[in-house]
Amino acid sequence: MSLNPRITDWHGKRVWLIGASSGIGLALAQALHARGAQVIVSARHAAALQAFVSAHPGSLALPLDVTDAAAIRRACAEILAGGAVDLLCYCAGHYQAMRATHIDTHSLLQHQAVNVTGALHLLTPMVQALLMQGHGHLSFISSVAGYRGLPKSLAYGPTKAALINLAETLYLDLAPHGLGVSVINPGFVATPLTAQNDFHMPALIQPEQAAEAILQGWAKGQFDIHFPKRFTRLLKLLRCLPYPLYFAAVRRITGL
């Protein structure tokens, strides 16, 4: 079922990807550029952004630290001064495995700052702009780790759960105005973030496969874009279990 306006033709579309210096964000930038979109890439790593622009004529680089609220306001003003934004995708993410037996408060707050607060600082200028232009799409890369509590996900999981809830609420408010909202929930994708994992990652896919799945989701007008299905459907099933069964299943599956 299509919940959003379908995006099938990217020629001439103006797309802003935040967190596009590596991983899924970079793969998305490459795929969208190949389909004719004007891609604006943002991240902290200016050199990586410039390398992308050099290899993809017509794209633009706007270095940005999403933990800097003033910098986000300036970036939004600069982007909007250049014209309408057809799609904004928040790809920025921070991840460090953590359990409650070894809490690192600084890391907890860093996850919150990058994964959630940065997205919140974007909302006022970007939502107002999309409402005024009468079209556009907001998309957030969350994770299946946001579905329910998981071992080693004390810092990461709650932030991704927040993004899922945020996207759901935005959809209810903005869909009546003709705007698209989607949340992207990947399983394991081979990125610099997941490279630190010391456990087997089932159904691991490459960033290019993730980008293709996201483009397919936008083309179908999906709200919840999740992949790979052979893994994410299992997580969705576990999401429906009552707590006694869920906790027992997770302990059995993870051994933790």
Instruction: Report the SS3 class of residue 88.
Output: strand
CA pair distance 183, 41, nearest whole angstrom: 19
Report DSSP letters for 164-227, one per residue. Answer: HHHHHHHHHHHGGGT-EEEEEEE--B-STTGGG--S--TT-B-HHHHHHHHHHHHHTT-SEEEE
Tell me if 18 sits within 8 A of 62, measured CB to CB.
no
Tell me if 54 sits within 8 A of 78, measured CB to CB.
no
Phi and psi at 152, nearest 5°, equal: 70, 10
Tell me if 41 sits within 8 A of 14, measured CB to CB.
no
CA-only gyration radius of the chain, Å: 18
Instruction: Report the SS3 class of residue 229.
Output: helix
CA pair distance 136, 227, nearest whole angstrom: 24
Q: Give the active site residue among 90, 95, 147, 156.
A: 156
Instruction: Give the DSSP letter of residue 58.
Output: T
Q: Is 243 noted as a catalytic residue in this protein?
A: no
Q: What is the token pair recorded at 181?
A: 């909202």
Which residues are part of the catalytic machinery? 156
